[in-house]
Structures are given as structure tokens and as C-alpha cells.
Amino acid sequence: MSPHSRLRAPMLCALILLAAGASAVDAQRGAVPRHPPRHEPTVSVHGHVFIGGYFYDPFFGPYPWWPRTAYPYWYFPVFDHRADLRLRIAPEPAEDAAVYIDGFYAGVVDDFNGVFQALPLTSGGHRIALYLAGYRTIRRNIYLSPGSMFTLHETMQPLAAGEVAEPPEVAQPVPPPPAGTYLPPVTPPRAQPAPPQPAAVSVGTLDLRVTPPDIEVTIDGQPWATADEGHFVVQLTVGKHRLELSKTGVFRLGTEIDISEGETNTLEMNLKAGSS
């Protein structure tokens, strides 16, 4: 290992929609990179954070990469509200699968699957892709709350003879942080396909809370998981999106949400058991 609708159920007492704006996902209907909300600076350093394709050191200031020289010489700002992602991917050859976060190459599974290995990410919504020639590409959406640890368990399925692995989406490159403030991925990228770059899109934010927290959430047919019980903050493309909440064998509820550019839509859905 390397170091690093429709409601079909007897229960639905209340459904509260509180709209304070609008929000949304990328052209592929997945999460797009989202910077964490503003926080007061902390005073502890936990190491590098992966953002925009670089492992940036927050010691040098709030990321992405504001230079520390913008502050008085006696002040050392550290904005370190990270979350950690650990990968548990089978079978054994999948340890060589390339890991893409929000379209940026971060390394291979083997870099982030040990007891003391995890991928440090900014809090918020992230799109994950695992790519390995000869295996079906895995795509997942997760929301990470500040300070959380999320373990992704997956099994990569081998392709049949003649099938080709679907390439991951690749984000537009961003300028590197100042020299000396970051590290590249531990495992350099190997021969990877170069899919076309996605076009820029307009987005907004969906701030969703569901009760009880074990309800399954899908947006535009894509399932979402969260490290913050029942709370999701994701970016979506401007326009209409399909939101579905379900509980196996109990109910399935579907509704449309309309996302506006640059705004936040707060949506609270309380689904409680009622009397028969």
C-alpha cells in the first residue's frame, strides 16, 4: 500500500417545502465541485486537502489558494474544514483503479484504502468515479459534512469480451496553487482515455433535509449518500430536476424542483408514520 408520483404507502404525515432560492448539478446530472461554506479560521493543521486536482496545504491559507501574504506576518490562517473518504473496493485488481473526484484525478484506490489512508476532501457534494480498463466504471455521488469520515464499499464488475470501459468525466484544469504549497497525487496518472472536456454550466444549490434520515434519496435518477444524517447540500444545473424519496416496501414519493442560477433552495421533507 502506498502512503497516502407518487406516494404509495400508509405513511406521510407532513411534507414541508421551504424555498429560499434555487440550486442544482452538472451537465451529466451529477454533483459539481462545491467549496465549503465560510467558517471562522481554526488553529490546527491536519495535512493536505485534495481540491481541483492538487493536494493543497491549508497552512498557507484558506483554500483553494489565497496567498498567506495577504495577512499580517503574525497571523497564520488555517481553514481546514475537511472530510475524509476511504475506499474499500473489490476485487484485488481494483486497487489499481483510477480515482476521479469531481472530474480531477486523485490517485488510485490503493492510495486511499489503508487503516491510516484516506482521501482528504473539502466538505460538500462530490462526484466520484472509479475507472479501470476491463471493468465497469463506477460512479457515485456523496455529501460530506465537515469533519466526517465516509467509507465507500464497492465491487467493480469485469466487462465481457469486446466491451470497453466507459471513461470518466474529466474537469477543465485549474491553475496550480503557489509553488511549495501543494503535492501532486502519490500515484501519477497512467494511460487514461481523454474524454471531451465538459462545457461550463450554470448552477445553484439544493440544501435538503429529510426526516427520518434513513430515507433513500435520488436526484434525476442518481442515488445520493451522505455523511451528515438526513442532510444533503448539492449543486445542480439550472432548471427542473426530479427528486425522489423512498423506503423499500413502505413508500415512494416523487416531486420536481426548479433550480435558479446562483441561489440556494432550502427543502425540508418530514415523512412520519401515521395511524393506519
Question: In the chain, helix, strand, coil percent, each to 5?
Answer: 5, 40, 55
Q: Topology of domain 5-32+201-276, per CATH?
A: Immunoglobulin-like (2.60.40)
Residue 41, all three cell numbers: 479560521
Buried residues in 111-128 as b, exposed as e (16+ CB within 10 A):
bbbeeebbbbbbbbbbbb
The predicted pLDDT at position 60 comes to: 78
The predicted pLDDT at position 154 comes to: 95
Contact yes or no for 65/58 (Cβ under 8 A): no
The residue whose grid cell reads 465560510 is 38
Distance CA 126, CA 33 (A): 6
Residue 225, all three cell numbers: 449518500
Domains 5-32+201-276 and 49-170 share a fold: yes
pTM, entire model: 0.65
The predicted pLDDT at position 91 comes to: 96
Nearest CA to 71 out of 58, 60, 82, 80 is that of 60
Distance CA 46, CA 57 (A): 9
Domain ranges of the chain: 5-32+201-276, 49-170
Buried residues in 172-207 as b, exposed as e (16+ CB within 10 A):
eeeeebeeebbeebbbeeeeeeeeeeeeebebbbbb
Distance CA 257, CA 18 (A): 12
Distance CA 136, CA 159 (A): 6
Report the CATH architecture of 49-170: Sandwich (2.60)
The predicted pLDDT at position 199 comes to: 59
Which residues of the chain register pLDDT less than 70? 1-46, 64-80, 191-201, 273-276
